[in-house]
């Protein structure tokens, strides 16, 4: 009887350890995907900012409240087309750029379309109203928040009326060409699956985007770290 009790206890412990190891492995594999998304977004930003006279103007990046990057968004269709992709966003906090939050980008278009194309999109949220849009459960560019094509290059007209009034500035890069794009009709929503994988159940984007990046697992911090490299905390604005 005693031996049987020991055997039962041993089996129970082994089963528990096995289930725990499986769960940890599963979480690890999921985090690999989110870490890759952060790395892709960081790479897009580095490549854009490293292109002489074609980068996002530094003064605009310094004004931005949040930055979102959607790498390799697919636009495909025959007669009826659509866009679809995933991205990462980070916002300014008192200690630098926030932990990364994950979003989906989608939208439809109609017309004669044949073929597919992958495009990188960059969005700068320029004021509190633009930030409120990002913190909502769902918003449409051009409908729920005004959006304008962002200027590029160091000598770009960053003080034009359209730029100054816009809540969001949008950019695109396709086939190596980076330029401002008035990206209207695109719907952006939080990616609940990615958020759950990284931060656990019921953690909202609003909470994550107000946190220091150190609140996130080390593996997903590359995007906010890259933002901090190009646009550190605005000390004067926070005094």
Do the domain assignments include residue 38?
no
Structure confidence by residue, pLDDT tens digits, 170-188: 999 987 889 988 888 889 9
SS3 79: strand
% of the chain at pLDDT higher than 90:
39
Do residues 182 and 15 lie in contact, with contact meaning Cβ atoms separated by under 8 Å?
Answer: no
Length of the chain measured in residues: 239
The pair of structure tokens assigned to 27 is 């979480």
Q: Which domain holds residue 188?
A: 46-231
Q: Is residue 34 part of a domain?
A: no
pLDDT at residue 77 in the model: 55
Q: Is the predicted pLDDT of residue 95 greater than 90, yes or no?
A: no
Are 108 and 140 within 8 A, CB to CB? no
The answer to whether the beta carbons of residues 95 and 187 sit under 8 Å apart is: no
Lowest mean pLDDT among 46-60, 66-80, 91-105, 170-184: 66-80
Is 40 a domain residue?
no
Residues 78, 55: Cα–Cα separation, whole Å: 33
pLDDT of residue 17: 41
Q: Enter the pTM of the model.
A: 0.80
What is residue 197's predicted lDDT score, i.e. its pLDDT? Answer: 93
Tell me whether residue 94 is in a domain. yes
* 215: nearest Cα among 101, 132, 135, 123: 101
In-domain check, residue 107: yes
Tell me, yes or no, whether 4 lies in a domain.
no
Encode pLDDT of 127-148 as tens digits.
988 999 999 889 998 888 888 9
Position 62 pLDDT exceeds 50: yes
Evaluate whether residue 176 is within a structural domain. yes
Tell me whether residue 82 is in a domain: yes
Q: Per the structure, how many domains does the chain have? A: 1
């Amino acid at each position: 009887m005693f031996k049987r009790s020991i055997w039962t206890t041993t089996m129970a412990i082994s089963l528990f350890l096995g289930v725990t190891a499986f769960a940890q492995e599963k979480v690890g594999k999921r985090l690999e995907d989110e870490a890759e998304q952060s790395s892709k977004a960081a790479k897009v930003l580095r490549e854009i900012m490293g292109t002489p006279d074609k980068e996002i103007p530094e003064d605009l990046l310094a004004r931005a409240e949040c930055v979102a990057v959607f790498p390799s968004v697919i636009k495909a269709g025959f007669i009826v087309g659509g866009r679809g992709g995933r991205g990462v966003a980070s916002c300014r906090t008192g200690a630098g750029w926030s932990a990364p939050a994950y979003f989906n980008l989608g939208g439809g278009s109609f017309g004669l379309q044949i073929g597919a194309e992958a495009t990188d999109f960059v969005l700068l949220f320029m004021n509190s109203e633009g930030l409120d849009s990002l913190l909502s459960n769902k918003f449409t560019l051009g409908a729920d928040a005004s959006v304008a094509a962002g200027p590029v290059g160091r000598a770009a007209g960053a003080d034009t009326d359209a730029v100054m009034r816009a809540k969001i500035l949008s950019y695109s890069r396709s086939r190596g060409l980076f330029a401002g794009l008035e990206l209207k009709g695109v719907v952006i929503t939080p990616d609940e699956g990615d958020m759950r994988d990284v931060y656990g159940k019921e953690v909202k984007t609003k909470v994550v985007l107000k946190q220091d990046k150190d609140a996130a697992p080390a593996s997903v911090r590359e995007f906010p770290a890259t933002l901090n490299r190009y646009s550190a905390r605005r000390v004067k604005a926070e005094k």
